[in-house]
Amino acid sequence: MFKDITRRASKFAAIAAAGLLAMNVQAAEPIRIGSFLAVTGPASFLGDPELKTLEMYVEKINEEGGVLGRQLELVHYDDAGNASKARNFASRLIRSDRVDIIVGGSTTGATMAAVPMVEQAGIPFISLAGAVVITDPVKKWVFKTPQTDRMAAERVLTDMKERGLTKVGLISGTGGFGSSGREQTLAAASAMGGIEIVADETYGGSDTDMTAQLTNIRGTDGVQTILNFGFGQGPAIVTRNYSQLGIELPFYQSHGVASDSFLELAGNSAEGLRLPASPLLVPDSLPADDPQKPVVEAYKTEYEARWNSKVSTFGAYAYDGLMLAVEAIEKAGSTDKAAVRDALESIQGHVGVTGTFNMSPEDHNGLEAESFRILEVQDGSWKLIN
Amino acid sequence: MMAQFSQFRLKGLVFLAIVVFALPLFISNPFHYGLATQIALIAGAVVGLNLLVGFAGQISLGHAGFFGIGAYFSAIMTSNYGWSAIPALVVGAIGVAIIAWTVGRPILRLKGHYLSMATLAVGFIIAIILNNERELTGGPDGMPMPAFDVFGWELSVFGQYSLFGMDISGDLAWYLFAGVILLAAVWLAQNLIDSPIGRALRSVHGSEVAASVVGVNTAKYKSLVFVISAVYASVMGALYGHFQGFITPSIASFDFSILLITMVVLGGMGSTIGVIIGAVVLELLPQVLADFQEMEMMLFGLILMLTMIFMPKGLLPTAANYLNKRRSKSAGGDA
């Protein structure tokens, strides 16, 4: 409480000082963007690049004059990927910090824990987490930037069908990402028709050898291709086991491992495998007329120059979230929450790093499965297939 | 001596009641109410755990598991099977009691580290089940939980209620409810401590051998208090879930078990009011430290380390000792 008072007082002093120094500029309150991300803890590989992206672009937008002539202010908390913490911080952002919009929620659990509060308070919320439940069914105030795991599954299955592969062996991790991906793959396969999941194996998060599951799949009648849905080190081990067993079937991974560190972990065994990924991994191979090319290239160069570390797909979700928020506020012409929400819902043709967003009252994600690019590993690096 | 003791206890309860009901005079932000509600519910579970740790001298590293079962059982029954909150809470608590009893009988024959390891394993198994039974629990992504309802009357943080003609918000209503629950939990615990069972437990804590020599059935009392503390956790877990509206398996995690034990140790083992202070401190610190960003965990660790080095008996007992010493000193000066 005391902190609130001091914070308010210091903010007041800052505003007063700014007003005195720049009499011609209206001493407008900054636009407050709230965020809770998993910067530490097991999901920090999501939250860390997301926070860096938000910090850097809020800075950049402010240098360029802000939004609607007002500066942006980022209010950030670390939820460590914990749902109860996320709920607390969402509550704090809404009720104590009184932010205008929330861009955050690295994990599905954290996002879903904050949703009831966000819906009740009526504040626009752009989530950075993957699962399909976030925007299906559509929730009035909740939007999200990453593609759903359902889209990843559809994209992979479509590519398989195009190659004439219709009998799929599925192996997935039992973590949140893997098990949700498994569910969506099974659902997508039965919805699409003409493709069949003939084997369905799982492995635990800390397993160090998956040859048993892979041998089972190889032994399944008629299996033509194998798909691995998982996160972290599991898929790298599956990939190594795959080549150790000398399995000749075409191999697919999910977008969960679409990063350069996966290539390092899996080494030569990754040769020839395909996965759905963000164009961010292959900015150079994008054709010159691709509308995403300039956005992707700019984000990659700016991020790597500022932080001196490799850009990641997860940071791009935060980039898209922030830019969508900015566009919505500009379109609404104010930070009135209902107006911003309506503007967010009507955004069309917003070219982001992840894809091109076309929001609608029925679709609060706005991406198509085609926004995933199919990449293949060739000579130890990513090649764009389509 | 005994009369003095219970008088002190009663004072503690009255003091707690005053704090609980006076707090709304000083805070008005719904976020602060939400935090206070959470603290009250977690403190309730810690009061139960303290019965086991502080009075029977046994350590449970799996208490979050019972907390999690309570929450998940209520969540599954109310949202998937249309049960009302109270029967779900009661049946969940009975289920936890049965689990704790079955598990407790063999476990509590173990001593020292073996006991902690066994409870640790139980906690882990519960967390793994919650994580993997995706159809039932929603897996690692968690599941939503409906508002708490009593005979068709719903207690939701988003509602509006009137109490004695005053309009109160759902947040305040939840806080008052949680406060009353905490007071009830403390009252029950203190009665238990002052009963023959409590005396038997303290004798087990003092020396198990001596206790069994004078005819105390140590195994029986240990499993009894284990069951009681597990039921405390289960009930608080169910209420916590209703309050949060969304639960993930992290509430049954090892980390949370450790946090609960830390609250007991930090606040002062065996002091019912002390462990509540432990819960308040450990829940508030992360919020206060949130502004330090990267330094948060370091400061958190540092504060805990310093407290344990300089106040090894816990916050309240150390403070009480200090006050007593000063009082007796000044009394001595008068004489």
Q: Cα separation of B77 and B84, whole Å? A: 8
Distance from CA of B215 to the nearest CA of A (A): 46
Contact (CB, 8 A) for B145 and B89: no
Q: Averaged over A159-163, what is the pLDDT?
A: 91
Q: Cα separation of B32 and B37, whole Å? A: 9
The answer to whether the Cβ–Cβ distance between B291 and A83 falls below 8 Å is: no
A22-74 residue pLDDT tens: 444 445 789 999 999 998 887 888 899 999 999 999 999 999 998 998 999 99
Contact (CB, 8 A) for B241 and B75: yes
- What's residue A34's pLDDT? 95
Give Cα separations from B100 to B205, B231, B308 (angstroms). Answer: 20, 8, 30
Backbone angles phi, psi at A163, to 5 degrees: -90, 5
Chain B contact present for A182, CB below 8 A? no
Report the residue of A91, A118, A172 to disrupt the B interface, i.e. the one with the largest count of B CBs within 10 Å.
A91
Q: Averaged over A173-193, what is the pLDDT?
A: 87
pLDDT greater than 80 at residue A205: no
The answer to whether the Cβ–Cβ distance between B244 and A113 falls below 8 Å is: yes
Contact (CB, 8 A) for A235 and A177: no
Please give the mean pLDDT across all residues of chain A: 87
The answer to whether the Cβ–Cβ distance between B251 and A84 falls below 8 Å is: yes
Helix, strand, or coil here: B62?
Answer: coil
DSSP-derived secondary structure letter, B159: -
The β-bridge partners of A126 are A103, A143
Q: Cα separation of A299 and A99, whole Å? A: 26
- What's residue A25's pLDDT? 46
Paired tokens of B42:
């977690």
Q: Cα separation of B159 and A282, whole Å? A: 51
The sheet that has A101-104: what strands, in order across it? A72-78, A31-37, A101-104, A125-127, A142-144
CB atoms within 10 A of CB A321: 30
Chain B contact present for A174, CB below 8 A? yes
The answer to whether the Cβ–Cβ distance between B248 and A116 falls below 8 Å is: no
Helix, strand, or coil here: B81?
Answer: coil
Give Cα separations from A80 to A26, A185, B9 (angstroms). Answer: 38, 28, 38
Write out chain A residues lying below 8 Å of B30, CB-based: 91, 95
Which residues contact residue B26 at a Cβ distance below 8 angstroms, ignoring those fewer than 6 apart? A1
Report the residue of A5, A7, A87, A182 to disrupt the B interface, i.e. the one with the largest count of B CBs within 10 Å.
A87
Contact (CB, 8 A) for A316 and A353: yes
Helix, strand, or coil here: B110?
Answer: coil
CA A348 from chain center: how many Å? 19
Paired tokens of A188:
């997508």
- What's residue A284's pLDDT? 83
Give Cα separations from A50 to A56, B289, B333 (angstroms). Answer: 10, 21, 64
Closest CA to A353 of A319, A303, A312: A319
pLDDT greater than 50 at residue A174: yes
Task: Please name the residue that has the structure tokens 């700016």.
Answer: A302
pLDDT greater than 60 at residue A14: no
Identify the burial level of A23 via C-beta atoms within 10 angstroms of its C-beta, where 0-12 means exposed, 13-18 middle and 19 or more buried: exposed
Q: Cα separation of A75 and A88, whole Å? A: 14
Q: How do the domains of chain A map onto residue ranges?
A: 2-148+296-370, 150-283+372-384
Q: For the structural domain made of A2-148+296-370, what CATH number should be given?
A: 3.40.50.2300
Give Cα separations from B319 to A88, A228, A277, B259, B277 (angstroms). Answer: 30, 58, 59, 22, 12
pTM for the model stands at 0.80
The answer to whether the Cβ–Cβ distance between A174 and B131 falls below 8 Å is: yes
Q: In this structure, which amino acid lies at residue A32?
A: R
B201-234 residue pLDDT tens: 888 887 878 887 887 787 888 888 999 999 999 9
CB atoms within 10 A of CB A90: 30
B154-197 residue pLDDT tens: 777 777 777 776 777 888 889 999 999 999 999 999 889 888 88
Which residues contact residue A31 at a Cβ distance below 8 angstroms, ignoring those fewer than 6 apart? A66, A67, A68, A70, A71, A72, A73, A100, A101, A329, A335
Contact (CB, 8 A) for A372 and A384: no
- What's residue A323's pLDDT? 95
Q: In this structure, which amino acid lies at residue B104?
A: G
Q: Cα separation of B266 and B251, whole Å? A: 20
Distance from CA of A122 to the nearest CA of B (A): 12
The answer to whether the Cβ–Cβ distance between B291 and A116 falls below 8 Å is: no
Residue scoring higher pLDDT (B24 or B297): B24
Q: In this structure, which amino acid lies at residue B157?
A: V
Bridge-based pairing state of the strands A167-173 and A196-203:
parallel
The answer to whether the A2-148+296-370 and A150-283+372-384 domains have the same CATH topology is: yes
The β-bridge partners of A33 are A74, A101
Distance from CA of A145 to the nearest CA of B (A): 18
Out of B32, B141, B297, closest to residue A112 by CB: B141
CA end-to-end span of chain B: 23
Report the residue of B25, B134, B248 to disrupt the A interface, i.e. the one with the largest count of A CBs within 10 Å.
B248
Chain B contact present for A202, CB below 8 A? no
Q: Cα separation of A92 and A102, whole Å? A: 11
Nearest chain B residue to A110 by CA distance is B141
| Residue A9 half-sphere exposure toward CB, CA atoms < 13 A | 6
The answer to whether the Cβ–Cβ distance between B244 and A87 falls below 8 Å is: yes
Distance from CA of A292 to the nearest CA of B (A): 31
B95-131 residue pLDDT tens: 999 999 988 888 777 766 777 888 899 999 999 999 8
Contact (CB, 8 A) for A365 and A345: no
pLDDT greater than 80 at residue A386: no
Nearest chain B residue to A173 by CA distance is B132
Identify the burial level of A169 via C-beta atoms within 10 angstroms of its C-beta, where 0-12 means exposed, 13-18 middle and 19 or more buried: buried
Give Cα separations from B81 to B17, B78, B90, B238, B269 (angstroms). Answer: 37, 6, 15, 16, 40
A341-363 residue pLDDT tens: 999 999 999 999 999 999 999 99
- CATH architecture of residue range(s) B2-334: Orthogonal Bundle (1.10)
The confidence band for B335, taking pLDDT boundaries of 50, 70 and 90, is very low
Kind and range of the H or E run holding B332:
helix B315-334
pLDDT greater than 70 at residue A18: no
User: Does the N-terminal peptide bond of residue A287 adopt cis geometry, omega within 30 degrees of 0?
Assistant: no
SS3 per residue for chain A: CHHHHHHHHHHHHHHHHHHHHCCCCCCCCCEEEEEEECCCCCCHHHHHHHHHHHHHHHHHHHHCCCECCECEEEEEEECCCCHHHHHHHHHHHHHHCCCCEEEECCCHHHHHHHHHHHHHHCCCEEECCCCHHHCCCCCCCEEECCCCHHHHHHHHHHHHHHCCCCEEEEEEECCHHHHHHHHHHHHHHHHHCCCEEEEEEEECCCCCCCHHHHHHHHHCCCCCEEEEECCCHHHHHHHHHHHHCCCCCCEEECHHHCCHHHHHHHHHHHCCCEEEECHHHCHHHCCCCCCCHHHHHHHHHHHHHHHCCCCCHHHHHHHHHHHHHHHHHHHHCCCCHHHHHHHHHCCCCEECCCCEECCECCECCCCCHHHCEEEEEECCEEEECC
The confidence band for B3, taking pLDDT boundaries of 50, 70 and 90, is very low
pLDDT greater than 60 at residue B58: yes
Contact (CB, 8 A) for A354 and A147: yes
Q: In this structure, which amino acid lies at residue B220?
A: K
Percentage of residues in chain B having pLDDT higher than 90: 32
The answer to whether the Cβ–Cβ distance between B141 and A109 falls below 8 Å is: yes
Helix, strand, or coil here: B28?
Answer: coil
Report the residue of A134, A179, A207 to disrupt the B interface, i.e. the one with the largest count of B CBs within 10 Å.
A179
- What's residue A362's pLDDT? 92
Write out chain A residues lying below 8 Å of B140, CB-based: 109, 175-176, 179
Q: In this structure, which amino acid lies at residue A149?
A: D
Q: Averaged over A162-181, what is the pLDDT?
A: 88
A230-287 residue pLDDT tens: 887 889 899 999 999 988 899 999 988 888 878 888 888 888 899 998 888 888 888 8
| Residue A206 half-sphere exposure toward CB, CA atoms < 13 A | 1
The β-bridge partners of B144 are B246
- How high is the ipTM of this complex? 0.76
Task: Please name the residue that has the structure tokens 């959470």.
Answer: B38
Residue scoring higher pLDDT (B149 or B110): B149
State the count of interchain CB pairs (< 8 A) between A and B.
86
Q: In this structure, which amino acid lies at residue A256?
A: G
Task: Please name the residue that has the structure tokens 């500009």.
Answer: A330
CATH topology of domain A150-283+372-384: Rossmann fold (3.40.50)
Identify the burial level of B308 via C-beta atoms within 10 angstroms of its C-beta, where 0-12 means exposed, 13-18 middle and 19 or more buried: middle
Write out chain B residues lying below 8 Å of A131, CB-based: 141
Question: What's chain B's length in residues?
Answer: 335
